[in-house]
Structure 1
Amino acid sequence: MNLLLIVSAIAGFGCAIGHSYLSERYILRPLYAATNGSRILENPVNRRLMYAMWHLPSIAWSLVAAATLWMFFAPQWFDATASTLLLYFGIGIYMPAALWNAIAFRGPHVGNILLTIASLALWFGVNV
Structure 2
Amino acid sequence: MTSEEIIKMAFELGNAVAQSEEIEGLKASQARVSQDHIAYDLIMSYQDAKSKMENKLQDGLSLGQAEQANLKNLEQELKSNSIINELMAAQEKFDNLMQAVYFAMNQALSGGCSSGCDSCGGSCNM
Q: Which has the larger radius of gyration?
A: 2
What TM-score do the two structures reach when normalised by structure 1?
0.40
What TM-score do the two structures reach when normalised by structure 2?
0.40
